[in-house]
């Protein structure tokens, strides 16, 4: 089981140059809001996913014929 502490520790372990990047700062902010003020955890999860996948190519959208 994961808690909000786990992604916080992940970010804290990043090199300072990386953790100061805007996408990581957004993730930190959303985690803190969720932890301290009872914010929407889904937003924190989304921000973490965005930060982790920042700079990678998005998955291609399947064509109608591939959807089944």
Identify the band that residue 67 occupies on the pLDDT scale cut at 50, 70 and 90.
Answer: low
In a domain, 65, yes or no: no
In a domain, 30, yes or no: yes
Give me the domain span that covers residue 26.
5-54
In a domain, 25, yes or no: yes
What pLDDT was estimated at residue 37?
A: 85
Among candidate residues 25, 14, 21, the one with its CA nearest the CA of residue 47:
25
Token pair, residue 51, equals 């930060």
Q: What are the pLDDT digits (tens) for 31-65?
A: 999 988 887 889 999 999 999 999 887 777 777 76
In a domain, 61, yes or no: no
Give the chain's domain count.
Answer: 1
In a domain, 66, yes or no: no
In a domain, 44, yes or no: yes
């Amino acid at each position: 089981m994961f808690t909000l502490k786990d992604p916080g520790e992940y970010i804290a372990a990043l090199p300072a140059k990386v953790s100061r990047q805007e996408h990581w700062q957004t993730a930190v902010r959303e985690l803190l809001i969720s932890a301290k003020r009872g914010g929407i955890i889904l937003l924190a999860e989304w921000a973490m996913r965005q930060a982790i996948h920042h700079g990678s190519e998005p998955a291609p959208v399947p064509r109608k014929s591939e959807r089944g």
